[in-house]
Amino acid sequence: MMNTGIAELDPLIGGGLKEKSNVLVIGPPGIEKLSIALKFMEAGAEMGDGLLYITTDVAPTDIESQNAKISGDGVIFIDCYSWTLGSHENTRKDILVPGPSALNDLSIGIAQAMQKLFKPEKKVRVVMQSLSTLLLYNNPEVVYRFTQITGARLKASNATTLFLIEEGMHDEKVEATIKHLVDAVIEVKNEEGKVLVRAPMSGLQQWKEIKL
């Protein structure tokens, strides 16, 4: 099992996430999904895992500003965001993709990153932030295929991946289809300042409070 970096969550889902699995993190707009992703990556940084962060809606520098441990040579960023603004810093070594509609380029970028990270004995952690942006710029059927194929390739490269998605932003059929394509789902919400999670596919049927 792979720890999430959230001590209260792991015991609730059988000790952590199954290694080489694809996990959907879904919840309404807010910082909770990002916090889970950052804790997941921070735990990987502490354990020496390979780290790949794919961002479609914020710049890599914004991610680094949220958590200093997710920066430098220890993480590869694929940046689908800055290109559209023409604001990427030339000094950075990120893999640039010309926007969230360029899924072929994104697939190539992921393959390039995994070539650098893959070692038979090494675990890899990946975050995709987020599928919602891809769904805004592409036909859902195309995103389904991308998610399924990319997820399979990442698992074959020893990667455990968190796919983030905004709840309530898409048709219920879209959300249901995406859930069908992954191995597990973590649902998160904020009620009166309390962060609540559940993961029905991992044995956590009821909402439980955690601290992020």
The pLDDT score that the predictor gives to residue 90 is: 63
The DSSP secondary-structure symbol of 18 reads P
Helix-then-strand count for the chain, H and E:
7, 9
User: Residue 89 has what pLDDT?
Assistant: 62
Q: What CATH class has 10-210? A: alpha beta
- Does residue 138 sit in helix, strand or coil? coil
Per-residue pLDDT, 87: 65
> Which pLDDT score is estimated for 4?
97
Closest CA to 189 of 57, 67, 36: 36
User: Cα–Cα distance between 1 and 158 in angstroms, integer?
Assistant: 12
pLDDT score of 71: 82
Q: How far is Cα 12 from Cα 7, in angstroms, rounded to an integer?
A: 10
**Per-10-residue mean pLDDT, the chain, length 212:** 95 95 96 96 95 94 88 89 73 89 97 93 96 97 98 96 96 96 97 95 93 91
Q: What is the dihedral of CA 34, 70, 181, 84, to 10 degrees?
A: 80
Chain-centre distance for alpha carbon 32: 13
Boundaries of every domain in the chain? 10-210
**Per-residue pLDDT at 155:** 96
